[in-house]
Chains A and B, each alone.
Chain A
Amino acid sequence: MSLQPEPDPIEDVPADSGPVAGVPVEQTSSPTVAGGRWFGRPAVDAFGNAVRSEWTKLWTVRSTYWTLTAAFVITIGLAALVCAMTAREHGDIGGEPAAMSLTGIFMAQIAVGVLGVLVISSEYGSGMIRTTFAAVPDRLVVLAAKAVIFAFVVTVGSFVACLAAFVLGQWLLSPTGRQASLGDAGMIRIILGATAYLTLIGLIALGLGGLIRHTAGALGVLFGLMVVLQIVTQFFPVDLQERVVPYLPGTMAVSIITVSPPSMSLSAGASVAVLGVYAVVALLLAFWSMVLRDA
């Protein structure tokens, strides 16, 4: 028997209605709708509230700043390093110029993966997940809100970092005369592809964090999938390699950031699509784990 009327309008808990102040205050129908401000939905919007909460969570822990800063520094720093070194050699640059300026994503994916795992595993590790589920009982809403906020931040961040790495790298390569420019065929596709690559790797990491719940365990599995699988398949017979290797997540970055993909890899578009499938599978596994296993 709640003493309050059905709490319909959002933000209807007056600041001064603290229990210690006395009788529970009649909740007023305040027209200042917070949930609608961002999402343009007038009604109570559980998903909108969850997204707002996840946004606040993401930006109120230091690991977010550390991992995103690391991803930026690595992506842009490695572009500068690789392209500057190559330019010093003059003449033959031994690779596609766009790919050279985006080599940083191979390391940046580690930082993005760590952040993706932490988005969920840090809550299981601390026990905060129980507070989260008490506040938002629908696990699907929680997972979707986390995934949406994370994907948004990583997409924007990766795009800016990849664009900056490309522009800086090509500028540094200009003494060789072999530099690419944004207007060249495939360059926009490569930058968007690299952005999508980092975001999807991050979402796979987020899914693994929800499935495994332990930061170290989820990271171990993630890099097992990214690195160890590739090493293992080197010992396969060649015909089997040709059928398996293109589908390994670790081979996809190369096909995404090159104009002409190397052998044993899918096209850039197909790579992004397959990676997307992996991300969906990882998120479904996370959802399954969050629903079936007690918090």
Chain B
Amino acid sequence: MIEVDRLTKRYGSTVAVADLSFRVLPGRVTGFLGPNGAGKSTTMRAVIGLDRPTAGEIRVNGRPYGSIRRPLLEVGALLDARAVHGGRSAFNHLLCIARSNGIAASRVGAVLETVGLTGVAGRRVRTFSLGMFQRLGVAAALLGNPGVLLFDEPVNGLDPEGIRWIRALMKQLASEGRTVLVSSHLMSEMALTADHLVVIGRGRLVADASVSDLLSTSSRNRVRVRSPQAEQLSVLLRQGNASVQLGPDGALEVLGMDAPAVGELAAAAGVVLHELSSQRASLEEAFMDLTRDAVDYRTEPATVEPRI
């Protein structure tokens, strides 16, 4: 388990993370989401003691990372896959890491096998593709067979086969009872892998909820209804305090009333319905809603200054 407790990190006058608290529980994949610059990497670096918090603290399995004697046996992290010495072979790179924590050299071969790099174990990593770097980083994270795993944007640079592989790996690690924290700025990626989401924007917590909870509370959830008596129905709906918009295809988009209520209202008034369905917001839309006010680098709709 990872406990982030009122973490604040400042770089000079820039606040990267502000008073952030959340817990990452074992047995599920926790997605760590936020726009670029939201503070995801800073938080992950702080978890493994690379960045010193300005305030607050982080505990891994109940204690600060720095007090764990052989941390790789408890925590594996893939933060920056390219952060390896290009002159070493994949095998030697992993061997250096293994030795630092007294991990048997035989584990190196085992994790290389796991990530599918056995064939290039002797090649200098300078020649690797980004996807191979990612696999090497995963291998390093798995070396100590840790119960807690951190992955920062692991699908970057992977080909479709690699992406499928890493999704399956993360799910399996979680199903084995491990704590898995995966960051991404891609909601769609998280929709496929994560069970739980921690969403941050501008260094602050925006949401900490299961994927399904996040979706059901989104303001984008609406009811789609089609009726030959659309005008009569929309008057009724507005009287029921729902807001109604006419969709481009002639269907009504209803906000503020769920599908059963719309159906009962129509039945009571004898209005014929041709279609009635709940429209769930996509995770992408829910994410956009959540982080609307917390995006650092936003593209504003283009506006033209009026000429005087």
Chain A residues within CB distance 8 Å of chain B:
1-4, 7, 10-20, 22-25, 27, 34-35, 44, 46, 49-50, 52-53, 55-57, 60-63, 122-123, 126-128, 130-138, 294-295
Contact = CB atoms under 8 A, between A and B. Distances in A.
Nearest to A9: B102
Given A46-B69, A46-B70, A60-B96, 17 more contacts: A2-B61, A4-B145, A11-B104, A13-B107, A19-B114, A20-B172, A24-B176, A56-B92, A57-B96, A61-B85, A123-B85, A131-B84, A134-B48, A134-B49, A134-B50, A137-B49, A294-B50
B15 interface: no
Interface of B: 1, 26, 45, 48-52, 61, 65-66, 68-75, 77, 79-80, 82-89, 92-93, 95-97, 99-104, 106-107, 109-111, 113-114, 140, 142-148, 169, 172-173, 176-179
Contact of B97 (A34, A46, A131): A131
Given A13-B73, A19-B173, A130-B50, A35 B88 contact: no
Contacts of A13: 73, 103-104, 107, 143-145
Contacts, number: 161
B104 A128 contact: no
A19 B142 contact: yes
B140 A15 contact: no
B211 to A, nearest CB: 22
22 contacts: A2-B148, A3-B176, A4-B73, A13-B103, A13-B145, A22-B176, A34-B104, A44-B69, A46-B70, A49-B101, A52-B99, A56-B92, A60-B88, A60-B93, A126-B83, A126-B85, A126-B86, A130-B45, A135-B97, A135-B100, A137-B48, A137-B49
A24 B144 contact: no
A294 B83 contact: no
A128 B125 CA distance: 12
Contacts of A27: 145
A7 B104 CA distance: 13
A11 to B, nearest CB: 5
B145 A60 contact: no
A15 B52 contact: no
Nearest to B138: A19
Contacts of B109: 15
A127 B137 CA distance: 12
A25 B172 contact: no
B114 to A, nearest CB: 5
B65 A137 contact: yes
Q: Which of B70, B88, B173 has the most CB of A within 10 A?
A: B70
A49 B99 contact: yes
Contact of A130 (B1, B79, B173): B79
A15 B104 contact: yes
A137 B85 contact: no
A134 B72 CA distance: 8
Nearest to B73: A7
Contacts of A23: 176-177
A131 B143 CA distance: 12
